[in-house]
Structure 1
Amino acid sequence: MKRWLGKAETALGNHSDRLNAINIFPVADGDTGTNLYLTVRAAARSLAAGTGQPAQVDVGAVLSTAGQAALEEARGNSGTLFSVFLCAAAEPLEGHTRLTSTLLAAALNRAQIRAWSALSDPVPGTMLSVMESAARAAAAVDAGQNGDDSNHALGLALDAAVEGALAAVIQTEDQLDALTTAHVVDAGGVGMLLILDCLRSAVMGVELQSELLDGLHGYDVADPHIHADMPDDDGVEVMCTINLSPLNAATLRQRLDEIGESVIMSQVGSGADAGGNYRWRVHVHVPDPEPAVAIIRSLGEPSQVSISELALPREPDASAVNTAGHER
């Protein structure tokens, strides 16, 4: 699992420029690659920070640690949804010391369901569709393995998951009008495809599939930044972490839905505090931040509040990303 997230951090760093270039949905702000990279980096570094401690042999516990770190530092829609994916994938793996085909299928299925449910208004043709297709493909292969827990069976399920993800990425262009018009595939979907291929590579000890992205519309290194020619999106992205009761969490989601878009709310951790409140990560796009922040503060005291202009991409450390988009 550490190797997977480390590989994903490197791959997303190498591909962030091209992912940014085709990022036009839900907002043409050219930052999906950056957001995914920074979020996966947070997950990877949370595990690296444990060096020197006794080795954790519970696969679910390792991924849960990484998922919580990613959720606390998640960037944008794509980073938040990946964090939800990672936290949910950890749950069926709790108490297990190795991955099997059946556990992989269960983890991918739990993760895609949780990601779909985190969004108030989930849309097909995004990384959600890629997650779902990967989960369905892995489950179909596992169903034919009759409980085989060998590495061979796991390899078949991982191959199927990546193939399913690739098929879903290709389909995104026809699922969203904005992508059809621009003749590109979904940036978040491509990022998720890369992450899944890194999982396959890390678990099976094989190389990443260098030809995996060949032919995806808009993804050639010579292609321009599609979003650069589109009008700037007004508004801001507001994110925070806050402790809320289940009732107040439902109230917050409803009120943010009324004033904004791309509302994502996901629970951080599984336990309630002494007052019966749960920790939530909140994400919303709004025309003006003040009303959203006021609504949030009316229900609790938020932490890690960030407000970012949608028209301005947030860049990571320049030295961490190959801006030419090439593999290093």
Structure 2
Amino acid sequence: MGKAETALGNHSDRLNAINIFPVADGDTGTNLYLTVRAAHRALQDAAPAGAGQPPAEVGQEARPEPAGQQAQFRQQAQLNDVGAVLARAGQAAMEKAKGNSGTLFSVFLCAAAEPLAGHARLTSSLLAAALNRAQIRAWSALSDPVPGTMLSVMEAAGRAAAAVDAGQNGNDSNHALGLVLDAAVEAALEAVVRTEGQLNVLQAAHVVDAGGVGMLLILDCLRSAVLGEELRSELLDGLHGYDLQDPHIHTDMPDDDGVEVMCTISLSPLDAATLRQRLDELGDSVIMSQVGPTADAGGRYRWRVHVHVPDPAPALAVIRSLGDPAEVSVSELALPRDPSGEVSAEGR
């Protein structure tokens, strides 16, 4: 997780520069960075004193992992449960998720933890199952999912991982794990390139999807951390709009009216379905995902809610009619932009 935080911090400006879908507000890089940072800090806060980055077994042979290069999400070796550690990171990310991209990544992270629960080692089969579960959950979290976004990148990575794992016949070595990770990253890259042709707004601007590039970076960080190998710096070479000399594309786009409303709220399954339906009627980019697997004494689950609406008042009224929201944020979709093309450091 630490690698992903660093990589997204380094690339946030370029991700912001090409962020024009679903709204041209230039904050995808900032949102992903802040969301991943929340996940990483949760792991750091929970790590036993002096734990550092203790080694934990991943595979059994080939592609050895140098000391100190183990995956961040396995730094709590005492837990002996990769899924539990990843779930902790996912829940922290969900509670602090920013924007569409941060919320979808949080959904992805929480879902990926589920097949890993109770396992001390990451194998190719477990990784394939985790990526597949995660991409399905991310697609289902959105009321109106759109191909050509980070969803397509997640799906491509999951499908490629499953295909390669199926050919390993149960091989749980590091070599098999490496093949699955390599395939997932390569498929993600190909999916990022395809995004430009899948969405008219991206094709018109000659850029790839910002969220998709962010997801590609995260997957490469996973590959690098698990296998103890360097990040593939060449991955982003040639992606349209990603050269440093390219302008901030979003600054030439019309301002988007309306606001983004986000909150966390405890709801029964029926009330959650009702809220999704009502928000679909009021706005778009509706994302609802469960935070944590268990209900409270009243049978309510915690949900992270995200929606774009013309006016926040009706949306907040509907939300509050069903429960008591926490972590409420209301942000203008049209962020102030200075002449240099930079967006506010606070993002959304």
What TM-score results when the alignment is normalised by the length of structure 2?
0.89
Q: Give the CA RMSD over aligned residues.
A: 1.0
Q: Does 2:267 correspond to 1:247?
A: no
Q: 1:59·1:97 contact (CA, 8 Å) conserved in 2? A: yes
Matches within 5 A, 1:155-304: 155-304=178-327
**How many matched pairs?**
313
Q: For 2:126 and 2:47, how far apart are their aligned partners in 1?
A: 26
> 1:199 is matched by which residue type in structure 2?
L
Q: 1:326 — aligned with what?
A: none
Q: Does 2:112 correspond to 1:89?
A: yes
Q: 2:9 — aligned with what?
A: 13
Shift of 1:57: 1.9
Q: For 1:256 and 1:108, how far apart are their aligned partners in 2?
A: 29
Q: For 1:147 and 1:71, how far apart are their aligned partners in 2?
A: 33
> 2:162 is matched by which residue type in structure 1?
A
Q: For 2:344 and 2:109, how far apart are their aligned partners in 1?
A: 23
Q: For 1:23 and 1:258, how far apart are their aligned partners in 2?
A: 26
After superposition, what is the alpha-carbon deviation per residue over 1:175-224, rounded to whole angstroms, capped at 9, x for unaligned? 00000000000000000000000000000000000101000000000000
Q: 1:322 — aligned with what?
A: none
Matches within 5 A, 1:100-115: 100-115=123-138
> 2:189 is matched by which residue type in structure 1?
L
Runs of 4 or more, structure 1, over 4 Å off, are none
After superposition, what is the alpha-carbon deviation per residue over 1:247-302, rounded to whole angstroms, capped at 9, x for unaligned? 00000000000010000000000111111111000000000100000000011110
Shift of 1:314: 4.9
Q: 1:70 — aligned with what?
A: 93
Q: 1:31·1:315 contact (CA, 8 Å) conserved in 2? A: no
Q: For 1:64 and 1:96, how far apart are their aligned partners in 2?
A: 12
Q: 1:315 — aligned with what?
A: 345
Q: 2:152 — aligned with what?
A: 129
Shift of 1:51: 2.9
Q: 2:168 — aligned with what?
A: 145
Q: 1:23 — aligned with what?
A: 19
Q: 1:266·1:281 contact (CA, 8 Å) conserved in 2? A: yes
Greater RCO structure (CA 8 Å; 6+ sep): 1
Q: 1:58·1:94 contact (CA, 8 Å) conserved in 2? A: yes
> 2:86 is matched by which residue type in structure 1?
L
After superposition, what is the alpha-carbon deviation per residue over 1:149-173, rounded to whole angstroms, capped at 9, x for unaligned? 0000000000000000000000000
Q: For 1:237 and 1:93, how far apart are their aligned partners in 2?
A: 33
Q: Does 2:32 correspond to 1:36?
A: yes
Shift of 1:316: 4.4
Q: For 2:19 and 2:328, how far apart are their aligned partners in 1?
A: 24
Q: 1:109·1:135 contact (CA, 8 Å) conserved in 2? A: yes
